[in-house]
Amino acid sequence: MKQRGSGGDRPPSRRPRAGEGAGRRTELGTEPGAASPKISKAAANDKALDSIIAADKIAALKLAPVSRETEERLDRYIALLRAWQAKTNLVAPSTLPQLWTRHIADSLQLVDLAPAAKRWADLGSGGGFPGVVLACAMAGKPGASVHLVERIAKKAAFLREAIRVTTSPGVVHLAEIGDNVDRITGPVDCVTARALAPLHQLIGFAEPLLRQGAKALFLKGQDVEAELTEAAKYWNIRPQLHQSRTGDGWIVELNAAERRS
């Protein structure tokens, strides 16, 4: 299993926030303390986004309530994600105002579908959904672990930093899923994926873990019926469908999958 060592990963510098940057143009003639119109506009935009995200957080935590400790971890994760997002595309920029409902609550809803699960594997974690969120939710549970598999080095570096700042039980694998998944050491209770691949491919990725007793929870969109029809051509499966709490999507639950001969 490939793992990169820690160290050397630095978050990209973020844009100035409200109040920052004032007077920075002094050398160029701006009065100390006076922000340039450009900086003021950026600061105002950041402040407006802060308010929208704060309101969205309240809505998200109604959909998927968490403990005070988990909320604090998630706050740290969101702050880090917003800092890195300026240089690395971790989520679609259009979804930034709905970071909490669209990404955090979407991820958290999986916990209720596998309440006893402590050992998770998230495939194609990208910016950390659902993997980092699950790791935050699992922190403090004895024996908990969340494996995050991601093949892009920059995203894996972000995931490692997110696990560090949230002090959550995540293990980041900079790897191809196909090379890595059957090398995850120790049993896995639940394997997850969101926005990674069509269902029939996801089942192929997850099958080694399903065979060892894991449950699969895949976050899918509205076209889930078509994906299930396609998957049934390759796999004997008995899927359970759960309607998403956070939008029009579905969660596909599988407890076994057998390749059709």
Ligand X SMILES: C[S@@+](CC[C@H](N)C(=O)[O-])C[C@H]1O[C@@H](n2cnc3c(N)ncnc32)[C@H](O)[C@@H]1O
User: Smallest gap, in angstroms, from Cβ of residue 191 to ligand X?
Assistant: 13
Q: Residues in the chain, how many?
A: 261
CB of 184 to ligand X, least distance (A): 13
Q: By C-beta, is 150 or 253 nearer to ligand X?
A: 150
Taking CB under 6 A as the rule, does residue 195 contact ligand X? yes
Asked whether the beta carbons of 124 and 58 are under 8 A apart, the reply is: no
Considering only residues 25 through 64, tell me which ones interact with ligand X, judged by CB under 6 A.
none
Q: Tell me the residue nearest to ligand X as measured from the CB.
A: 126
Instruction: Return the residue of 64, 110, 196, 224 that touches ligand X, per CB under 6 A.
Output: 196
Distance CA 98, CA 153 (A): 26
CB of 85 to ligand X, least distance (A): 12
- Residue closer to ligand X, measured from CB, 16 or 208: 208
Angle at the Cα of 172 from the Cα atoms of 8 and 245, rounded to 5 degrees: 125
* Count of residues interacting with ligand X (CB under 6 A): 15
Residues 100-139 that bind ligand X (CB under 6 A): 124-127, 129
The interface mask with ligand X, positions 154-193, x = CB under 6 A, is -x--------------------xx----------------
Is 150 among the residues that bind ligand X (CB under 6 A)? Answer: yes
Q: Are 31 and 75 in contact (CB under 8 A)?
A: no
Contact flag: residue 215 with ligand X (CB under 6 A): no
> Binding to ligand X by residue 246, rule CB under 6 A?
no
From the list 34-42, 45-53, 74-82, 147-155, the region that binds ligand X by CB under 6 A is 147-155
Query: Annotated binding residues for S-adenosyl-L-methionine, as ranges?
Result: 124, 129, 194
Residues that bind ligand X (CB under 6 A): 124-127, 129, 149-152, 155, 176-177, 194-196
